[in-house]
Structure 1
């Protein structure tokens, strides 16, 4: 019985990890797409009132680790020129 409980716990954790990995991939795709969008925007041509949202998005992207940002770009097959 004890090994069954452990196997059940392992299965539950495995399911949770799989859910988290799917969510991570979805978030990486959103982040990659947002990064591509921000890279292509002309900040001087933004409609009034959108500057703050664009700045928040850009600063959030800049706060990511280089590895996470690269994973995000890879998830949408994006290449951003430096």
Structure 2
């Protein structure tokens, strides 16, 4: 049984590491999403537009739940910028 206990301990440690890493990634994604949402693409240099597009495209591929988790991780909200009629 000591081998089984050691395996369980190793798996628990690995899972804790992955969850910690997920939280770090969620904070990064949340901050990036908030930043991208605030950018005015007309004022960005061409190189920055390309990078922002890659980030925005990647963020848009996330599930709504994951994106919401990321925004919650940095206490950010992204408002819809729909002009009033």
TM-score strictly above 0.5: yes
Structure 1 position 31 matched with structure 2 position 4 = no
The equivalent residue for 2:39 is 41
Work out the CA distance in 2 between the residues paired with 1:77 and 1:35: 12
User: What TM-score do the two structures reach when normalised by structure 1?
Assistant: 0.95
The equivalent residue for 2:70 is 72
User: What TM-score do the two structures reach when normalised by structure 2?
Assistant: 0.91
Q: Which sections of structure 1, spanning at least 5 residues, go unmatched?
A: none
Work out the CA distance in 2 between the residues paired with 1:27 and 1:52: 22
Deviations, residues 18-70 of structure 1 (Å, cap 9, x unaligned): 00000000000000000000000001110232111010000000000000000
Q: Which sections of structure 2, spanning at least 5 residues, go unmatched?
A: 81-85
Count of matched residue pairs:
80
**RMSD of the TM alignment (CA)?**
0.6
Moved beyond 6 Å, runs of 4+: none
Which of 44, 59, 62 is the equivalent residue of 2:57?
A: 59
